[in-house]
Structure 1
Amino acid sequence: MQPDKPDDRAKWLLLGLAGLGLTAGVGMWLLGRADIARLVWIAGTLPVLVALYVEIVRSLMRGEFGLDIVAALSMTAALIFDETLAAAVVALMYSGGTFLESFAEGRARRDMEELLSKVPRTAVRHEDGQLVEVLLDVLEPGDLLLIRQGDVVPVDGTLAGSGAMLDQSALTGESMPVRIATNEPVMSGSTNAGEAFDLLATHRAAESTYAGIVRLVEEAQKSKAPISRMADRYSVIFLFLTVGIATAAWWFTGDPIRAVAVLVVATPCPLILAVPVALVAGLSRAARFGVLIKGGRPLEALARVKTLILDKTGTLTDGRPGIISIETANGFSEDDVLRFAASLDQVSKHPIAQAILAAAAEAGQRLAVPQSSAETPGEGVNGVIDGRKVCVGGADFVARQIGSDPAPDSARSAGSVLVAVSVDGRLAGRILMADALRPGTAGFLKTARSLGVERILLATGDRQAVAAAVTEGLDLDAVRSELTPDQKVLLVLTERKNGAVLMVGDGVNDAPALAAADVGVAMGARGAAASAEAADVVLLVDHLDRLLPGLEIARKSVAIAMQSVFIGIGLSVAGMIAAALGYLTPVEGALLQEAIDVAVILNALRALRINPRSVASSAAAAA
């Protein structure tokens, strides 16, 4: 690992100085130069001790009270009473422990500036009959902008044209494109999925929806409750115990060296080392299962999760429309309907057309090249396939083309899209498409509960009818629909009263809630960059069940870390008692402490061999 910030470089430097001081001092001592060895050990210890005191002061100013105080006492006492070798050993072990902790922590998330870099920096504005590309900062309410096909809407506004087809999935979570009529509002962050249109700006860029989501992410990150280092939770008890035994040893024997030996044995290296080693091992193990956890703190929090909140689109569902069924008519087969529709849809960039093409490719259909075609944006396509007149589009559009009645409402369902296909003026069939649940969703929910999750909720920006239709029959404690990004944050904060909250999402609209949750999980392969940046955990493949081994590994890694902590505390207390009774010198206490370190580290490394049972169970449930 290479250091990537000043704190990391400082820890590298301290570790190097402590290691060099100890080994060089031992070399001098073996050469018979004990006087030089003493000075070298002092030189290797002092930088670590000074840095340690600086950190203790900073921690106390933040109201934090940690085990660093015990380490500072042991090194200080060893130097005062000329036990320089013991001080050098403690300095090396302490600096090694803090370095490993830094490695486990990592960078929780990069600057939110990267979120802003994902949106356009310029817009095309109408000026005196011409189109001029300008910076977003100069846009004012009342400006008329051109939004080209594929463009992300840069500011909030109203539609000035006759109609537009917008992909709002990044904002609302709704995977299906939405038809916007003249004078209807358009949110920044939406993507133009149809033909170019004009937008009348109603807000400046800094006041628009997308900029507001960025601010929500930043505010939620600031309000997120910090998780203290696991070892520090036992610091007060351990500190008083250590000082009590050391004071008693000195008081009753009159020998200050016994107190030094007690402090050296009590140096909390097992606590400082065992926790980061177990967590690093857990992080490494989780990554092998496609779960990228951004440091030790998220891993700790993941092990404590009691409530799971799921977004719908792209999380509980696949996020892309798929064919649910094909209804045929007038003697046409399902293969005929799919082939005619896909052949003609080759000329369209509409998301529904692309989904039909993908389904035809998966079915192995051999498509024909359209001999002619004409697309009505947002409505459908007419053309000639193999010499036959074909029309593909919305049920109402196709009905008007062939002079028939549109499909009844009963043919549609919440959250679905009905695509009609006609051939030579006759209805050939209808294709029902929807954003379906991911396979094995029910099994995923069941396994999550078996891993300790007590409450599972759905939080989506979709309409209530869509959310209800998708979640019918699922074991959910609650379904919250039509939520804005700030309402999702409020839901996360409200659920905290039941314990640690885990939020899973993949869109820009999920980013604030992911940042506010104790653990935010993003679907990384296809999810929005904003959600991946705000999240603590990223699933490297778009399979929700990948979260299960992450949960299991986190719980087991933390359990192993806790086991190592208690083993280390027990052995250290036994060593302190032996030192107080005079059975251990400071140097012998330092060497014993190293043996304890090795024992707890070996135990902590068992996290590398965790084999999540949830992988097999979720695969079986999906089958």
Structure 2
Amino acid sequence: MAGSESGTRLTGPVWFLAVTAGALLAGIVLHVFGARTAGDAAWAAGTAVATVPAVWWVVSGLRAGRLGVDAIAVLALAGALAVQEYLAGAVIAVMLATGRVLEDYALRRASRDLTALYERAPRRARRYAQGVAQEVEVGLVRRGDLLLVPTGEIVPVDGVVTRGGAVLDESALTGEALPVEYARGDAVRSGVVNAGAAFDLRATGTAEESTYAGVVRLARQTQADTAPVVRLADRFAAWFLPATLLLAALAWAVSGQAVRAVAVLVVATPCPLLLAAPAAIASGLSRTARRGVVVKGGAALETLGRARTLVLDKTGTLTVGRPEVCDVVAAPGFSAEEVLRLAAAVDQMSSHVLAAAIVRAAGERGLGLPAPSEVEEEPGVGTRGLVEGRRVRVGKAPAVPACEWMRAQRARAALDSAMTVWVSVDDRPVGVILLRDAVRPDAGRTLRRLRTAGIERVVMLTGDRPEVAESVAAVLGVDRVLAEQSPAAKVAGVRQEAGRAVTVMVGDGINDAPALAAAHVGVAMGARGSAASTQAADVVLTTDRLDRLADAMDVARRARRIAVQSAGAGMGLSLLAMSAAAMGWLAPAAGAIVQEVIDVAVILNALRALRPARGTRLRLDARTDALIRRFEHEHAALRPPLDLIRQAADTLDQPQALERLHRLRDFLTEELLPHERAEEERLYPAVDRLLGDPEATMTMSRAHAEINRLAGRLERHLELAGPGGPAPGQLDDLRACLYGLYAVLILHFTQEEEAYFSLMSG
């Protein structure tokens, strides 16, 4: 791969190829028509044209402290001119120009411009002067100034909340999806967004001293410190160049003929390196693009193929990156469906991220939402409105003395690391909705695929609390967890890992941009990721699927392997031809043609990287893919009603217990059990064939048997129950049956989604 990028800009690869190819063709035509002198002149001109940039590439390499294979090309071109082997020189010139075109296509690095990160920096602040908030340049803010931070605006400097509470979207700094509440006296950082009501802030530093300014400086510094990957050709050149020069010198010394040395240099012109490696890498870039992965240059792909450590941000990478309703708990006298329906009715008029999650959950459960009236939203507090003649309030806990039920729900939310949204009717708390950022269904299988592909260590970085991070890590089998990490700490963590092995960092937020630039390869979740992380990354996943990273690593490793094979085989053949040239069996012109044949062979081999390969992904036929999609859609529809099981267990001692149990039985017999039977009869045999193991789904079949057993036990309990409900002697066993059924189904659904449904092609 000849020359530096500056050389490319100096000569222009396409122009270079056009001139050298034109000179070669002109010389051939002139020789055919008998104008041998003019033909030789055309070839000599093409050779001379190629010599100038080739010399420049050698000089550029020497300035950078390396002497690469470009030196062989310079010696071959100069030698061809010296011994008047003009055809050989013209052929070498075309090969060099072709290599430059391929290199320019395959290895042009995308700019790591972080303009989105820089442009987001606060520029204005609202500073109080004589009790009135006036807009000023953020650079004029000093320590001790009192500032107003309106709803939706970025906190301009670090400070302390002095009036009211603050609800802040900290995703720019921590990457966490859920807003965070701050009370009076709490310190807040610049760069976060006010997601609640306006509040007053006492500045504790200037804009230059602020947290966000530090993130920007860190990104610039990290970007400047990141060195380019050493080219594949230069690693081979460490031994190929001296071996070539030694053989050429011996051929000249033994034979006394300079033409033999030129023949050796001509045959040794490193086009297998100049052409095969870029062709394989360019083919790999094409393959990754077809899988929804944009790799910014061949160097990034080649480095990705050598990665051994994977560092991942949690939110939006291992998790879905948005809050989802994980449970609805109704107060005594209410049902979970009614609580969710009333909350969603009011929240459908709100644009808050939590409101959107609640409305989405109601839609998934098929709940009809009545139209609210007199809706009012108080930022940072909640939304209230009139629904079916009742005043419904959704948001913070109501200002009433906490009862035992409320204390229990707060404890449960803390244990589950969930956020709470309280629902009140006529100022009486009737339920609480728990929300959490769920783990991606494909995360577990993807990490296993990546380990199969060569990743030896997986590290999770997050700005979230340790207990939340550890719970995610335990599910996914992460090797190391670094929680409560600031952007600076994330960069330090990535650099520490990069010092041990070739490291890939995956993230999706502005706060991840410096860490992405610090890794050997930065990967951005581009579908919902920030512009800054996308620009800072070497690889961008254009679809919101983590498994595409495993696809990219499969392609990268295969492309690199083919590139090395092609270059190695090409050089091996070149060494044989060089030996023949040293013995006088190959003249320079014939040697150039032999070298061209070798080039064609290695390039054809390199283009194998264009063909799809199995890698670590299982290849689905269309029928199996459609079958998996069908059952995945059924799963999505059946998941919300599973809450009926736990609700029935929670309310066994209430008056409507028997009615709930009959509704649950109808759901099981009419929807759930037919789905499980269909999986057993159609899905599992197809998966067994796909995996090539007739016992691959045995544990899932065992779960089906347990589900059927517990459903049958519930049926017998209903047969024994009287008109007033289950007898007191039945309650303990019935409650254990229901909780057991719920636990088995949740685990079973999760296992199927991770093990089977994540196999779907995207």
- Scaled by the length of structure 2, what TM-score is found? 0.77
1:188-199 to structure 2, matched below 5 A, reads: 188-199=190-201
Cα distance in 2, alignment partners of residues 360 and 119 from structure 1? 38
Cα distance in 1, alignment partners of residues 285 and 412 from structure 2? 48
1:390 partner SS: strand
Aligned to 1:242: 244
1:211 partner SS: helix
Per the alignment, do residues 538 and 403 of structure 1 end up closer, same or farther by CA in structure 2, a change over 3 Å counting? same
Aligned to 1:101: 103
Query: Could you tell me how far 1:80 is from its partner in structure 2?
Result: 1.1
Whichever of the two has the greater Rg, that structure is 2
Per-residue CA deviation, residues 539-589 of structure 1 (Å, 9 max, x unaligned), is 111211111101111001100001101110111111112222222221111
Aligned to 1:155: 157
Q: Name which of 413, 436, 447 aligns with 2:438.
A: 436
Q: Name which of 184, 187, 202 aligns with 1:185.
A: 187
Q: Are 1:587 and 2:589 an aligned pair? A: yes
Relative contact order (alpha carbons < 8 A, sep ≥ 6): 1 or 2 greater?
A: 1
Cα distance in 1, alignment partners of residues 57 and 31 from structure 2? 32
Aligned to 1:288: 290
How many aligned positions are there?
Answer: 619
Per-residue CA deviation, residues 287-329 of structure 1 (Å, 9 max, x unaligned), is 1111111111111111111111111111111110001112233
1:306-321 to structure 2, matched below 5 A, reads: 306-321=308-323
Query: Could you tell me how far 1:138 is from its partner in structure 2?
Result: 4.1
Aligned to 1:10: 12
Aligned to 1:620: 756
Aligned to 2:733: none
Supply the AA of the counterpart residue of 1:411: R
Per the alignment, do residues 558 and 405 of structure 1 end up closer, same or farther by CA in structure 2, a change over 3 Å counting? closer
Residue pair 2:110, 2:297 contacting (<8 A) in 1 also: yes
Moved more, 247-256 or 508-517: 247-256
Supply the AA of the counterpart residue of 2:756: A
Query: Could you tell me how far 1:537 is from its partner in structure 2?
Result: 0.9
Cα distance in 2, alignment partners of residues 304 and 342 from structure 1? 49
1:366 partner SS: coil
Q: Are 1:380 and 2:382 an aligned pair? A: yes
Query: Could you tell me how far 1:403 is from its partner in structure 2?
Result: 12
Q: Are 1:512 and 2:514 an aligned pair? A: yes
Query: Could you tell me how far 1:408 is from its partner in structure 2?
Result: 4.1
Cα distance in 1, alignment partners of residues 529 and 39 from structure 2? 58
Aligned to 1:550: 552
1:572 partner SS: helix
Cα distance in 1, alignment partners of residues 157 and 26 from structure 2? 64
Aligned to 1:273: 275
Q: Name which of 428, 445, 456 aligns with 1:454.
A: 456
1:616 partner SS: coil
Query: Could you tell me how far 1:95 is from its partner in structure 2?
Result: 1.9
Aligned to 2:412: 411
Aligned to 1:495: 497
Query: Could you tell me how far 1:5 is from its partner in structure 2?
Result: 8.9
Aligned to 1:221: 223
Cα distance in 2, alignment partners of residues 442 and 63 from structure 1? 44
1:442 partner SS: helix
Supply the AA of the counterpart residue of 1:16: A
1:352-367 to structure 2, matched below 5 A, reads: 352-367=354-369
Query: Could you tell me how far 1:474 is from its partner in structure 2?
Result: 2.6
Percent identical: 47
Cα distance in 2, alignment partners of residues 30 and 127 from structure 1? 89
Cα distance in 1, alignment partners of residues 453 and 64 from structure 2? 35
Cα distance in 1, alignment partners of residues 609 and 19 from structure 2? 30
Moved more, 259-268 or 340-349: 340-349
2:475 partner SS: coil
Q: Higher helix share goes to which structure? A: 2
Per the alignment, do residues 37 and 161 of structure 1 end up closer, same or farther by CA in structure 2, a change over 3 Å counting? farther
Residue pair 1:298, 1:537 contacting (<8 A) in 2 also: yes
Aligned to 2:52: 50
Cα distance in 2, alignment partners of residues 543 and 376 from structure 1? 36
- Scaled by the length of structure 1, what TM-score is found? 0.93
Moved more, 208-217 or 116-125: 116-125
Q: Are 1:347 and 2:483 an aligned pair? A: no
Q: Name which of 87, 91, 94 aligns with 2:89.
A: 87
Aligned to 2:253: 251
Per the alignment, do residues 257 and 619 of structure 1 end up closer, same or farther by CA in structure 2, a change over 3 Å counting? farther
Cα distance in 1, alignment partners of residues 6 and 149 from structure 2? 41
2:236 partner SS: helix
Per the alignment, do residues 605 and 320 of structure 1 end up closer, same or farther by CA in structure 2, a change over 3 Å counting? same
Per the alignment, do residues 597 and 324 of structure 1 end up closer, same or farther by CA in structure 2, a change over 3 Å counting? same
1:498 partner SS: coil
1:66 partner SS: coil
Residue pair 2:442, 2:546 contacting (<8 A) in 1 also: no
Supply the AA of the counterpart residue of 2:557: R
Q: Are 1:564 and 2:562 an aligned pair? A: no
Supply the AA of the counterpart residue of 1:70: I
Residue pair 1:118, 1:529 contacting (<8 A) in 2 also: no
Q: Name which of 390, 393, 397 aligns with 1:391.
A: 393
Per the alignment, do residues 365 and 5 of structure 1 end up closer, same or farther by CA in structure 2, a change over 3 Å counting? farther
Cα distance in 1, alignment partners of residues 118 and 167 from structure 2? 24
Cα distance in 1, alignment partners of residues 57 and 575 from structure 2? 26
Per the alignment, do residues 282 and 156 of structure 1 end up closer, same or farther by CA in structure 2, a change over 3 Å counting? same
Cα distance in 2, alignment partners of residues 551 and 21 from structure 1? 42
Query: Could you tell me how far 1:114 is from its partner in structure 2?
Result: 4.1
Per the alignment, do residues 485 and 387 of structure 1 end up closer, same or farther by CA in structure 2, a change over 3 Å counting? same
Aligned to 2:660: none
Residue pair 1:371, 1:386 contacting (<8 A) in 2 also: no
Residue pair 2:165, 2:181 contacting (<8 A) in 1 also: yes
Aligned to 2:693: none
2:395 partner SS: strand
Per-residue CA deviation, residues 91-148 of structure 1 (Å, 9 max, x unaligned), is 1111211221122122333423343124454444445665554444444444444433
Unaligned runs of 5+ in 1: none
Per the alignment, do residues 39 and 132 of structure 1 end up closer, same or farther by CA in structure 2, a change over 3 Å counting? farther
1:383 partner SS: strand
Per the alignment, do residues 434 and 261 of structure 1 end up closer, same or farther by CA in structure 2, a change over 3 Å counting? same
Cα distance in 2, alignment partners of residues 6 and 91 from structure 1? 15
Per the alignment, do residues 213 and 101 of structure 1 end up closer, same or farther by CA in structure 2, a change over 3 Å counting? same
2:20 partner SS: helix
Cα distance in 1, alignment partners of residues 242 and 756 from structure 2? 52
Residue pair 2:117, 2:510 contacting (<8 A) in 1 also: no
Residue pair 1:556, 1:610 contacting (<8 A) in 2 also: no
Query: Could you tell me how far 1:182 is from its partner in structure 2?
Result: 2.5
Aligned Cα root-mean-square deviation (Å) = 2.5
Supply the AA of the counterpart residue of 1:318: V
Per-residue CA deviation, residues 202-248 of structure 1 (Å, 9 max, x unaligned), is 33333322221122122223333432111111113211221222222
Residue pair 1:165, 1:195 contacting (<8 A) in 2 also: yes
Query: Could you tell me how far 1:14 is from its partner in structure 2?
Result: 2.0
Moved more, 384-393 or 278-287: 384-393
Residue pair 1:398, 1:421 contacting (<8 A) in 2 also: no
Residue pair 1:109, 1:535 contacting (<8 A) in 2 also: no
Supply the AA of the counterpart residue of 2:547: D
